[in-house]
Amino acid sequence: MPATLQCIVLDCPVPLDLARFYQALLGGDVDRPDPRWRVDQDWSTLHLDGGMVLGFQRAPDHRPPTWPDPSFPQQFHLDFEVDDFRESHHVVLAHGGRLLDPDLGGRGWRVYADPAGHPFCLLGDY
C-alpha cells in the first residue's frame, strides 16, 4: 500500500514567523486546529486550500543553505507557479524574503530565499 504525504516540514529558527511568510505568499490558515499536530513555539502549520499542509519546526542551530554554493547545499526547494509575478515578487520581499537569482537569462523563474534562508522559486511570466 502506498504512503500518503501528510506534511512537508521546514526547519527554521522561528516557526510562526515562517508560517506567516508562506501564508502571505500562498494563503491558507496558520495553526488551524488539527489533531495530527500540536502547535506551540516549536511547531507551526499552514493548511493550504486543497489539503496540503506545510509544517515549520524550530531548529535552534538552523543554518540556511548557501545557494548556489554547494558547501552547504539546499537539499530541496519549493517551486510556486504564480499568476501575477510582480505582485508575488513584492509580497515575498515585503514579508522578509530576498531575491537570490534575478533570472536575467529569461528562464521563466526567479530564485528567492524565505526569511529562514530556504531557497524557493517563483515561476511565471514577468
pLDDT in tens, 69-84: 778 776 778 889 898 8
Secondary element (H or E) of residue 9 = strand 8-12
Grid cell 537569482 is found at: 101
Higher pLDDT, 88 or 69: 88
Q: Is the pLDDT of residue 98 over 90?
A: yes
CB-CB neighbours of 21 under 10 Å:
22
pLDDT of residue 105: 65
Residue ranges of domains in the chain, CATH in brackets: 8-58 (3.30.720.120), 78-123 (3.10.180.10)
State the average pLDDT over residues 94-119: 87
Task: Give CA separation, 93 vs 4, 22, 50, 71, 97, in Å.
Answer: 33, 12, 26, 26, 5
Q: What pTM value is reported for the model? A: 0.84
The helix (H) or strand (E) run that includes residue 20 is helix 15-26
- Please state, for a pLDDT cut of 90, what percent of the chain lies above it: 54
